[in-house]
Structure 1
Amino acid sequence: MKNSLKKLMQGYDEMLSISHRTEIARELRDEDDLFLFLCFSEMFGIPNPAFYYTLELYPYMLEKFHKWHLRMGMDNSPLDGVRCC
């Protein structure tokens, strides 16, 4: 009984979200872009009060940054301090 109720709830959730998947994906991508901008804002010349805390995230974010600038149509990194290509 519990397992069938769980499957029913999952099916209902999928039915409601099927038409909104592209919107959800776009919103998640926009949030990732904003997070990247906030973390790399020092390199854009905008003071970042949390720069010290986000510094250790840079090695993990280089791949995301590379995908971002390719998606934006830039063949090379737009920032001098970030060499990802």
Structure 2
Amino acid sequence: MDSTKKFSLKRLVELYDDIISLQHDSEVARELRDEDDLFLLLVYSDMLGIPNPAFYYTLELYPYIIEKFHDWHIRMGMEKSPLSGFRCC
């Protein structure tokens, strides 16, 4: 009988968390997307003509984020890649 109380209390807490976070899922997703966009802008800023003091350190990240670059520039309203020597489309 004691284990059923623990299970029901655990389930009640999980249900409470689900109800509280239900309304905020879209807000959290939008914030994560905005942070990701800012990160990509910082990484590619030197190629876009914006000085980036950390360019040397972010250069090694390009192979990992190249797949996200196309989605990013489309979301930013650029039909084609803004980088002249960098094609993704």
Specify the TM-score bucket, using the shorter chain as the normaliser.
0.7 to 0.9
Give the TM-score taking structure 1 as reference length.
0.82
Percentage identity across aligned positions?
68
- Name the aligned partner's letter for residue 37 of structure 1: L
Unaligned 5+ segments in structure 1 are none
Q: Given the two structures, how large is their TM-score scaled by the length of structure 2?
A: 0.79
Q: What residue number does 2:40 align with?
A: 36
In 1: Cα distance, 2:70 partner to 2:49 partner = 20
Change over 3 Å in CA distance of 1:12–1:81 after alignment to 2:
farther
Distance in 2 between residues matched to 1:4 and 1:84, nearest whole Å: 51
1:82 paired with 2:75, answer no
Which secondary structure does the structure 1 equivalent of 2:52 belong to?
A: coil
Q: 2:83 is matched by which residue type in structure 1?
A: L
What is the one-letter code of the residue matched to 1:20? H
Give the equivalent residue in structure 2 for 1:50.
54
2-11 vs 34-43, greater mean Cα deviation: 2-11
Larger radius of gyration: 2
Is the 8 Å Cα contact of residues 45 and 51 (structure 2) preserved in structure 1?
yes
Deviation of the 1:54 alpha carbon: 0.8
Q: CA deviation at 1:8?
A: 3.1
Q: Which runs of 5+ in 2 are unaligned?
A: none
- Structure number with the higher helix fraction is 1
Report the Cα offset of residue 36 of structure 1: 0.3
Counterpart of 1:11? 15
Give the CA RMSD over aligned residues.
1.8
SS of corresponding position for 1:63: helix
2:46 aligned counterpart, secondary structure: helix
Which residue does the alignment assign to 2:66?
62
